[in-house]
Amino acid sequence: MDALVRLIETATLDQRRETARLMGKAPRTAKGLLRMAERALARAEAAIAQARALLPPPRPVACGPNCPFCCHVRLTASAPEILLVLAYVDSHWDDDSMTALMRKVANLDALTRGKNEAEREHLRLPCPLLKDGSCAVHPVRPLSCRAVASVDVAACRRAHASRMAEGAPLYEPQYQIANGVGYGLYAGLADAGLGVENVEMNAALAVGLGKPGLARRWLNGETLFPLS
């Protein structure tokens, strides 16, 4: 258990230091910002793999493709993570797919803007980035998504059916690691004098899809996204 605590602490502190180092020196670039976000996700995944070796889940983690039960809640992330998702969509979607996604996002935004977490859970509306029941941005999904790892898909199905009135058994070390790396990311941004806003995913997609240059504008101190 001590080794697991040290692992979480190390991942958190390393992320803070790296974020501050990469983002605290000139010139700050959009490419550098997105690369920093990618490295944060990679750090979380590496630490999660180490945690599973140190303290294996009681049962195999059940999360995988075509398992969207947890993708019907209010999702927040840091601005760099949001910008990474936007960049991924821009480079992987064709014009028709982008138009369809924008329409889906706009419809969801009209139903959910300003609603709190409990209200969103009751609505049980799917993330607009789901495609055929799977995450279409899985390689760059935010830390908030990576934090959730269930060991019982049947419990997830019941939680979804009950509009989250029932819970599902999670692999706690994964939750702690993803949140720790997220804290390190936010702390490092603050150390570098950058924004630490917590952004709701769909609202950010509504204002950010199809708009180039957002990372540069954010680095220049512009508030781009509605705050959560």
The residue extents of the domains of the chain are 2-219
- Tokens for 67, please give them: 């398992």
Q: What is the residue-level pLDDT of the chain in tens, covering all 228 positions?
A: 799 999 999 999 999 999 999 999 889 999 999 999 999 999 999 999 999 999 999 999 988 778 888 898 889 999 999 999 999 999 999 999 999 999 999 999 999 888 887 888 788 889 999 999 899 999 999 999 999 999 988 888 888 888 777 778 889 999 999 999 999 999 999 999 999 999 999 999 999 999 999 999 999 999 999 876
Under a CB-based contact definition with an 8 Å cutoff, are residues 57 and 151 in contact?
yes
Long-range contact pairs involving 114-122 (C-beta distance under 8 Å, separation at least 24): 115/74, 116/74, 117/73, 117/74, 120/73, 120/74, 121/72, 121/73, 121/74, 121/163, 121/164, 122/163, 122/164
**How many CA atoms within 13 Å lie on the side-chain side of 196?**
15
**How many CA atoms within 13 Å lie on the side-chain side of 23?**
33
What is the per-residue pLDDT for 198?
Answer: 92
What is the per-residue pLDDT for 167?
Answer: 79
- Report the SS3 class of residue 98: helix
- Tokens for 213, please give them: 């240059």
- 141 vs 122: CA distance, rounded Å: 23
What is the per-residue pLDDT for 228?
Answer: 61
103 Rama class: left (phi>0) / alpha (psi -120 to 50) / beta: alpha
What is the per-residue pLDDT for 123?
Answer: 83
Say what the alpha-carbon torsion angle 70, 75, 78, 80 is, to the nearest 10 degrees. Answer: 70
Nearest to 196 by CA among 82, 105, 88, 74: 82
Q: Residue 139's CB: how many other CB atoms inside 10 A?
A: 11
Q: In degrees rounded to 5, what are phi and psi of residue 59?
A: -140, 160
- 56 vs 125: CA distance, rounded Å: 32
**How many CA atoms within 13 Å lie on the side-chain side of 182?**
22
What is the per-residue pLDDT for 113?
Answer: 84
What is the per-residue pLDDT for 142?
Answer: 98
pTM higher than 0.85: yes
CA 140 to chain CA centroid, Å, is 8
